[in-house]
Amino acid sequence: MTQNYIIFTAGGSGKRMQSEIPKQFIPVAEKPLLMWAVESFEAVIPDLNKLIVIPENHIALWKDLCRQFNFKTEHQVVSGGQTRFHSVKNAVEIIKGDGLTGVHDGVRPFPSEGTILKAYQAAEKYGAAVPCVDSTDSLRQVKAGESHIIDRSEIKRIQTPQVFHTKLLKKAYQQEYQDTFTDDASVVESLGTKIRLTEGNEENIKVTRKMDLRIAVMLAEFYK
Amino acid sequence: MTQNYIIFTAGGSGKRMQSEIPKQFIPVAEKPLLMWAVESFEAVIPDLNKLIVIPENHIALWKDLCRQFNFKTEHQVVSGGQTRFHSVKNAVEIIKGDGLTGVHDGVRPFPSEGTILKAYQAAEKYGAAVPCVDSTDSLRQVKAGESHIIDRSEIKRIQTPQVFHTKLLKKAYQQEYQDTFTDDASVVESLGTKIRLTEGNEENIKVTRKMDLRIAVMLAEFYK
């Protein structure tokens, strides 16, 4: 039987938000962001195997939160590595089979049903798929101290889940780490694989700044 | 005496949001977005001459709103043109002197004091200045049907107010309209002028989608 996976990255140290608790564990509308993320996938593709990558020193906290919030969704906890690359690599190494594997930011609580399904469907067909949304702002490109207008219709904002044939993702993560690896698509792309873009959703925000957390609270109240 | 100006564009027809009332006129926390925008400038540089460009068929609505919300901030209403370019051109043509002129989206209610001051100060020194913020998402560039990762540190999201030496802006708006004119910086840049980037603020959102309006409500409650 084909096994499909979703890996949640929850390795951020929370430095950028100067909060005591790493942001993936912050509750909004009575549930930590990471639980919102996991339940989004559970609701859409219930038979996905769920791996959550958490830094060693936060695993006890996560287990406490699961008890406290009565979080029953089945999942496996994987210890994080030194960087995001090494964290995902740890999870990829324990995955088996020739199905599909997605990687999702634990601080993106609200991927829509369409975002999740389209990414998995396109990955099945093309090998590698990532959701994106349009740029709503005018954009300028800064090079050598000067800025020039750039056609915003050419620039897409990339989201997660980024989904791949499991075998392709495993091969990609056997590479040496490079500075240009900013997300999983960039790791897979460096093998020469083309990345298919699928339709994301605007509410699928990445909670990194204080303002994002306020927006997440608002969206959670809307969805709960 | 040097005269400085701010032009507010309020020409959107509201089609994108499918709302009956154009979005600049939608009240959030008991005040239409456009009034939030105008008052942001009034609070920071009180002696700016304020021009508001409004489509002919919405001028009566705006005057009604001013009465209804007891809006007393002094301003001059200018009739809008067929496109954003022609609307700004209408306002630019009635401006006089050798001071500075800014152009601000009427649907950006929350430019910060720093955003406004830095743009005017840099424009005074360098001729043309626009506020920007970093890209928080990974970005991909789509060309000829394929997507490639692009270094997000090179790409800045552009905001308003975009501020210029008045004489430069007047000269720029004497050009024929081109499709590449997506904002005022692009109009001025086509004269060969370099655009200085200044620091914007994340809350200075452009309210175009339904979700933006929900975020604006939240920010307005925070600021009021």
Q: How does pLDDT run across B174-190, given as a tens digit for each residue?
A: 999 998 898 999 999 99
pLDDT at A19 over 60: no
Which chain A residues touch B209 with a CB distance below 8 Å? 136, 202
Task: Give the count of Cβ contacts less than 8 A between chain A and B.
Answer: 110
Q: In Å, how far are A59, A132, B102, B183, B206 from B4, measured between CA atoms?
A: 58, 41, 8, 20, 24
Which chain A residues touch B140 with a CB distance below 8 Å? 130, 132, 155-156, 158, 185, 195, 197
Residue A49 confidence (pLDDT): 97
Residue B136 confidence (pLDDT): 82
What is chain A's mean pLDDT, rounded? 92
Mean pLDDT of A157-167: 97
Q: Which residues pair with B54 in a beta bridge?
A: B79
**Left, alpha or beta for B18 (phi > 0: left; psi -120 to 50: alpha)?**
left
Tokens describing residue B70: 């007891």
Which chain A residues touch B195 with a CB distance below 8 Å? 140, 147
- The count of residues in chain A is 224
Residue B21 confidence (pLDDT): 79
Q: Identify the three-state secondary structure at position A4.
A: coil
Would you call A222 and B206 a contact, using CB atoms and an 8 Å cutoff?
no
- For residues A20 and B45, the model is more confident at B45
Rounded (5°) CA angle B80-B85-B86: 40
Residue A184 confidence (pLDDT): 96
Residue A20 confidence (pLDDT): 65
Which chain A residues touch B194 with a CB distance below 8 Å? 146-147
The span from the CA of B207 to the CA of B216, in Å, is: 7
A185 vs B149, B206, B214: nearest CB: B149
Q: Give percent of chain B above pLDDT 70.
A: 96
Q: Is the peptide bond before B161 cis (omega within 30 degrees of 0)?
A: yes
Would you call A182 and B152 a contact, using CB atoms and an 8 Å cutoff?
yes
* Burial classification of residue A183, based on how many CB atoms lie within 10 Å of its CB (0-12 exposed, 13-18 middle, 19 or more buried): buried
Residue A107 confidence (pLDDT): 95
Tokens describing residue B15: 């089609």
Per-residue pLDDT tens digits for A119-149: 999 999 999 999 999 988 889 999 888 899 8
Which chain A residues touch B156 with a CB distance below 8 Å? 139-142, 147
Residues of B with CB under 8 A from a CB of A: 130, 132, 135-143, 146-150, 152, 154-159, 180, 182-183, 185-186, 189, 194-195, 197, 202-203, 206, 208-209, 211, 214-215, 218, 222
Residue A222 confidence (pLDDT): 82
pLDDT band at B3 (very low <50, low <70, confident <90, very high): very high
- Which residue bears the tokens 């009635």? B94
Residue B20 confidence (pLDDT): 65
Which chain B residues touch A197 with a CB distance below 8 Å? 140, 142, 147
A211 vs B139, B159, B203: nearest CB: B203
Mean pLDDT of A84-112: 95
CB-CB neighbours of A201 under 10 Å: 18
Would you call B149 and A189 a contact, using CB atoms and an 8 Å cutoff?
yes
Contact call for residues A88 and A185 (beta carbons, < 8 A): no
Q: Identify the three-state secondary structure at position A79.
A: strand
**CA-closest candidate to residue A136, choices B174, B15, B99, B207:** B207
Would you call A185 and B138 a contact, using CB atoms and an 8 Å cutoff?
yes
Q: Identify the three-state secondary structure at position B72.
A: coil
* Burial classification of residue A150, based on how many CB atoms lie within 10 Å of its CB (0-12 exposed, 13-18 middle, 19 or more buried): buried
pLDDT band at A224 (very low <50, low <70, confident <90, very high): confident
The span from the CA of A73 to the CA of A39, in Å, is: 7
- The single-letter code of the amino acid at B137 is D
pLDDT at A2 over 80: no
Q: Which of B157, B190, B195 to mutate to test the interface with A (most CBs of A within 10 A)?
A: B157
* Pairing, β A5-9 against β A100-105: parallel
The Cα of B217 is separated from the nearest Cα of chain A by a number of Å equal to 10
Report how far Cα B162 is from the mean position of its chain's Cα atoms. 7
Mean pLDDT of B41-65: 95
Per-residue pLDDT tens digits for A68-79: 999 999 999 999
Question: Which secondary structure element, helix H or strand E, spans residue A114, and what is its range?
Answer: helix A113-126
pLDDT at B18 over 90: no
The Cα of B75 is separated from the nearest Cα of chain A by a number of Å equal to 27
Rg, chain B, Cα only? 17
Mean pLDDT of B146-161: 93
The span from the CA of A223 to the CA of A46, in Å, is: 19
Mean pLDDT of A109-125: 98
A139 vs B155, B194, B203: nearest CB: B155
B158 vs A140, A203, A211: nearest CB: A140
Which chain A residues touch B157 with a CB distance below 8 Å? 135, 137-139
* Pairing, β A155-158 against β A31-32: unpaired
- What is the DSSP secondary structure assignment for residue A175, as one 8-state letter? S
Asked which of A3-17, A66-80, A97-111, B136-150 is least confident by mean pLDDT, the reply is A3-17
What is chain B's mean pLDDT, rounded? 92
pLDDT band at A14 (very low <50, low <70, confident <90, very high): very low
The span from the CA of A29 to the CA of A79, in Å, is: 27
Residue A16 confidence (pLDDT): 46
Would you call B214 and A194 a contact, using CB atoms and an 8 Å cutoff?
no
- For residues B147 and A200, the model is more confident at A200
B197 vs A147, A211, A214: nearest CB: A147
Contact call for residues A81 and A58 (beta carbons, < 8 A): no
Residue B1 confidence (pLDDT): 54
Asked which of B14-23, B56-65, B135-144, B164-173 is least confident by mean pLDDT, the reply is B14-23
